[in-house]
Every structure is written in structure tokens, then in C-alpha cells.
A = this chain, B = another copy of it.
Amino acid sequence: MAYTYSHEHRVRYRECDPMGVVYHTHYLDVFEVGRTEAMRHAGVRYRDLEAEGIIMPVVEVEVQYHGPAYYDDLLVVDVHFGQMPAVRVPIDYTVHRAGETDTLVTGHTTLCFMDAEQRRPTRPPDRVREAFAPLLDA
């Protein structure tokens, strides 16, 4: 029971440092894009959640760097939801170069559904769970 979405990212010049490789913080930006598109693919737009008064702050991140990515590399980010979204949403990420198998980066983030007004954790709307159900069963 898991939903994995693959997102592609082209490495940009501004993301590379004097070592000639992607600076470590930028993978977190790629993770944001990957999970946003994974949610959109599931039928949940984060902008709609915000309009309903729900925000999803990141409460925890972990990243391990196994190997470098270079300028203009095409990266594939696999965004992995291993369980039904609850108050907390754990997501795993693995990054490899398109057409290669070596894992360059692995990551994990925990997001939290939160009431924007009260800034308190809250359960996800039913429609989020309904959107993820068929993908997690697949």
C-alpha cells in the first residue's frame, strides 16, 4: 500500500556551487515541487487547501547525500507516500539521474495538516483521504 509519483527536475546554474555540484539545500526545494505535483496528480491542489483555511507546514526533514548531481543533469525524484495522510504526512524521496540507477540523494519529510486560523494540528479533509485511497490501493 503505497503511492509513488515521479517528478523530473533539470539542474539549474543557480543551484550549483563552486564544487560544481548541486548545493545541498536545493534538494529540499525539489522535494517541495515533487510532493506538490504528486498531490495535484492525486487530485488535491495545495492552493485549494489554503483557500479552505488549511496549511501544511513541514515539521521535520532528513536528507542523505550519496553522490553529486551536476549542472544541467536531468534528475528523477520519486515521491513516496507509504500510508494514508493523517494529521501527519510522512513522505520519502529518492533522487537519481534520468537513465541511471545510482541513488544520489534520499530524503524524508513530515508535513502536518494544520488549521491556519488557530495554528493547531487538524485531521485532513475527507476529500484528501478519498483522493489518496485508490492510489494507495493500486
Task: Give bound CA distance, A121 to B28, whole Å.
Answer: 25
Q: Which residues of B contact A58 (CB under 8 A)?
A: 24, 65
Number of copies: 4
> Do A46 and B18 have beta carbons less than 8 Å apart?
no
Q: How many residues in A have their beta carbons less than 8 Å from beta carbons of B?
A: 36
> Do A13 and B20 have beta carbons less than 8 Å apart?
no
Out of B19, B25, B59, name the residue touching A25 (CB < 8 Å).
Answer: B25
> Do A32 and B13 have beta carbons less than 8 Å apart?
yes
> Do B59 and A61 have beta carbons less than 8 Å apart?
no
Q: Which 9 A-B pairs have the closest CB atoms?
A: A47-B72, A24-B58, A25-B28, A18-B20, A62-B62, A16-B18, A61-B63, A59-B65, A60-B64
